[in-house]
Amino acid sequence: MEKDLKALGIKVEKKKEFDVYLVRQDFPILHRTVRDKPLIYFDNAATTQKPKIVIDALVNYYTNLNSNIHRGVHYLSQAATTEYECARRIIKTFINAKHEEEIIYTRGATEAINLVAFSYGEAFLSEDDEVLISHMEHHSNIVPWQIICEKTGAKLKVIPIDDKGELILDEFDKLLSERTKIVSIVHISNSLGTINPIEYIIEKAHKVGAIVLVDGSQSIQHVPIDVQRLDCDFFVFSGHKIYGPTGIGVLYGKKDLLEKMPPYQGGGDMILSVSFEKTIYNVIPHKFEAGTPNIEGAIGLASAIRYVQNIGLDVIYDYEMELLNYATEKIKQIPEVKIIGNSKNKASLISFVVENVHPHDIGTLLDRDGIAVRTGHHCTEPVMRRFGIPATSRASFAFYNTFEEIDVFINSLKKIIVKFK
């Protein structure tokens, strides 16, 4: 696995021993029951569960630190500010950004993409420019670019995918030109599990003068990220995907680009001076953080990152690949089930369809056995149309899942199939 990670341009950390049953003790929700059955949570691509250390960080903030940040001279305000900015430093180190001010807090990856589209895009795109995305993008990495292209007259181009769910790189090379100004690409597909060759994409895009945004919503929790090594111009992710709170996300951007971009929103904290005649904007990162932020969310996210670092993302990756391979082999033994997305390089999720059974029925009946999976189009309707299906069921695994849980899931799935025969 280490060789696979290096081939994808992913930083490899020193291996640590891993005990899934010990790890599970850190997650209170994993010990509850659902419909009188032990909870089996296979919906991790939608959101991950939270370790007690993150829950405790949120409780501690509201119990001991609750105050607004940056402007207060009193003790609580200064203490909250210290924790909030310490979280920024932790995130900066985690993804190996060059400067702290390159870390912008957002509500999530969706807002981060919108920020770049509407700030950078509106300022620097013009008629006949092109924005390049892929066929496997989440709606959050499609719709903002559609809107900004309509506003600026730029054209949206789409990299096609093949039957395995992989980008057709020859077509990507053909689409690239001097008219390409932005490439916005998902690192790992949330509906197919495909791990895209983003180093190759970034290098090629830069050769034609394009900037690259990487949507790391599904990669930040699975593989080590080094934004300097990748040389991406922007990288976005959501805290709730990496065992942190909802409502907090991160936009990483290269300092020189962020400094050129106009503010995305106006309000408190993003200004240095305001008069009715003229407003002087604050420096980055504050220029893009208008209003009272999600203070406890940032602190909770930092706590989640420390937790993940303590385990080691290389350890997490290896274990999750074992889960993926085990579940894949089990599912392949069921003739009525078809896996959608069979990329050679894949993250720990399986989208599948069952012959003559609607995915929503699969999800509902699995839930009766306490098994949580996601059903639907997963905010990737173009992917569903590409494969000629309305929806899939999706089981997505995290490092706190077990092989025994997969066995229960497989047995439950087999029973459902029998019911519909």
Positions marked active-site: 379
- Residue 245, preceding peptide bond in cis (omega within 30° of 0): no
Cβ–Cβ under 8 Å, residues 309 and 302: no
Distance, C-alpha 202 to centroid of its chain: 18
What pairs with residue 33 in β-bridges? Answer: 38
Nearest residue to 140 (alpha-carbon basis) of 191, 79, 200: 191
Burial zone of 335 (CB within 10 Å; 0-12 exposed, 13-18 middle, 19+ buried) = exposed
Nearest residue to 395 (alpha-carbon basis) of 404, 405, 387: 405
Both tokens of residue 60?
Answer: 């501690």
Cβ–Cβ under 8 Å, residues 82 and 69: no
What pairs with residue 107 in β-bridges? Answer: none
CB atoms within 10 A of CB 349: 29
SS3 at position 207: helix
Cβ–Cβ under 8 Å, residues 264 and 235: no
| Integer Cα distance of 334 and 354 in angstroms | 9
List of residues 6+ apart from 276 with CB closer than 8 A: none
| Integer Cα distance of 361 and 363 in angstroms | 5
| Integer Cα distance of 366 and 358 in angstroms | 13
In the block, tokens 């789409």 appear at 158
| Integer Cα distance of 143 and 162 in angstroms | 22
3-class secondary structure for 316-337?
HHHHHHHHHHHHHHHHHCCCCE
Both tokens of residue 239?
Answer: 């805290």
Cβ–Cβ under 8 Å, residues 183 and 213: yes
Dihedral angle sign, alpha carbons of residues 206, 208, 209, 215 = negative
| Integer Cα distance of 293 and 67 in angstroms | 11
